[in-house]
């Protein structure tokens, strides 16, 4: 069976990606950290799309947890492979740099950058053996241009973009593509506390994006049709250019 692993699949953009990849025929591994109820809702939607799914609870920033969970899955599924990996888990802890606690700097970078490292390192060997794979990293407009109050988040997403480009070169010959998606403002829990009217003034399309719109783009990058696109960062932001 062909699987897709979506980190942070319990809510928001990750949930929409799980459903899209299920519609494309993938069985889905839904990673999350806290919200089992929300993860179960995603699982229900994956099943409604006609596919199998499984919850995998681990903190992507924790090497031990990630390794134990994914190695146990790999060992118990000798005939299956993870063909698509979407590194989507992320958080924001906004603050001006002068007032930013060290843990807010570290947590944001660790979930994004160590998260990418931990999952991708474990799943690449089987993609290399199969000579096929798709790695899609969820970056952000903040990783392309500065956003005040987001030096930690911008550093994390900018680093993720750089890692995307480097890894793409390493594995291109193995028919594995590695791309990043850079959303603008998308209607999810992550925007909680931000004023929608103020955000809309900045967006030429005059609206927030939807998780489903991001999932369509990820679905295309995950498809065989996108096999000649690698090392790219694709923006999806309603015209909110850098
Ligand atoms: P969200 O609704 O807040 O969901 C975040 C997801 O990440 C949840 O599934 C959460 O799991 C999971 N997660 C958080 N920390 C984790 C960890 N340490 N290990 C594993 N899973 C973890 O966020 P979203 O808006 O969908 O964002 C998804 C991605 O898109 C993020 O990388 C974000 O930076 C990026 N993005 C979002 C926007 C936007 O406007 N929304 C714009 C640009 C980029 P639980 O449910 O268990 O907490």
Q: Is the CB of 203 under 6 A from ligand 1?
A: no
Instruction: List, for residues 105-124, the tens digit of each pLDDT value.
Output: 999 999 999 999 999 999 99
Structure tokens at 186: 């998308």
Ligand 1: residue whose CA is nearest its atom 3? 190
Cα 112 to middle of ligand 1, angstroms: 10
CA–centroid distance, 129 to ligand 1, in Å, is: 30
Is residue 216 over pLDDT 70? yes
Structure confidence at residue 242 (pLDDT)? 65
Whether residue 241 is predicted with pLDDT greater than 90 in this model: the reply is: no
Ligand 1 pocket residue status of 32, Cβ below 6 Å:
yes
| C-beta 140 within 6 A of ligand 1 | yes
Residue 190 has pLDDT above 80, yes or no: yes
Q: What is the mean pLDDT of the chain?
A: 97
The rounded Å distance from CA 140 to ligand 1 centre is: 12
Beta bridge pairs of residue 138 = 181
pLDDT value of residue 147: 87
Q: Are 12 and 208 in contact (CB under 8 A)?
A: no
Please indicate whether residue 12, judged by its CB atom, sits closer than 6 Å to ligand 1: yes
117-175 tens-digit pLDDT: 999 999 999 999 999 999 999 999 999 998 899 999 999 999 999 999 999 999 999 99
What's the length of the chain? 242
What are the angstrom distances between the C-alpha of 220 and each of 17, 143, 226, 230? 11, 22, 6, 12
Active site residue 3: no
Taking CA 140 as the corner, what is the angle to CA 150 and CA 41, rounded to the nearest 5 degrees? 105
pLDDT at site 198: 94
User: Each residue of 51-96: pLDDT tens digit?
Assistant: 999 999 999 999 999 999 999 999 999 999 999 999 999 999 999 9
Give me the pLDDT at residue 215, please. 99
Q: What is the pLDDT of residue 146?
A: 87
Report DSSP state, residue 67. Answer: H
Dist CA 39 CA 156 (whole Å): 25
Residue nearest to atom 6 of ligand 1 (CA): 8
| pLDDT score of 213 | 99
pTM score, two decimals?
0.98
Q: What is the pLDDT of residue 34?
A: 98
Which run of H or E residues covers position 84? strand 81-87
Instruction: Spot the catalytic one: 3, 153, 228, 241.
Output: 153
The pLDDT of residue 239 is 96
């Amino acid at each position: 069976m062909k699987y897709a692993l979506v980190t942070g699949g319990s809510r928001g953009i990750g949930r929409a990606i799980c459903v899209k990849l299920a519609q494309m025929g993938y069985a889905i591994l839904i990673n999350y950290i806290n919200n089992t109820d929300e993860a179960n809702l995603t699982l229900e939607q994956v099943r409604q799309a006609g596919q199998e799914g499984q919850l995998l609870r681990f903190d992507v920033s924790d090497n031990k947890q990630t390794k134990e969970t994914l190695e146990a899955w790999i060992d118990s599924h000798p005939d299956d492979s993870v063909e698509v990996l979407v590194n989507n888990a992320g958080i924001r802890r906004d603050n001006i740099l002068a007032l930013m606690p060290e843990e807010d700097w570290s947590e944001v970078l660790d979930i994004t950058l160590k998260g990418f490292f931990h999952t991708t390192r474990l799943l690449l060997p089987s993609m290399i053996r199969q000579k096929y794979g798709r790695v899609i990293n969820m970056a952000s407009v903040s990783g392309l241009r500065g956003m005040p109050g987001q030096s930690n988040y911008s550093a994390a997403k900018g680093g993720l973009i750089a890692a995307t480009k480097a890894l793409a070169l390493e594995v291109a010959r193995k028919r594995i593509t590695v791309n990043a998606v850079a959303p603008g403002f998308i209607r999810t829990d992550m925007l909680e506390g931000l004023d929608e009217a103020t955000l809309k003034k900045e967006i030429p399309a005059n609206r927030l994006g939807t998780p489903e719109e991001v999932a369509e783009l990820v679905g295309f990058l995950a498809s065989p049709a996108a096999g000649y696109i690698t090392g790219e960062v694709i923006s999806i932001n309603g015209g909110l250019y850098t």
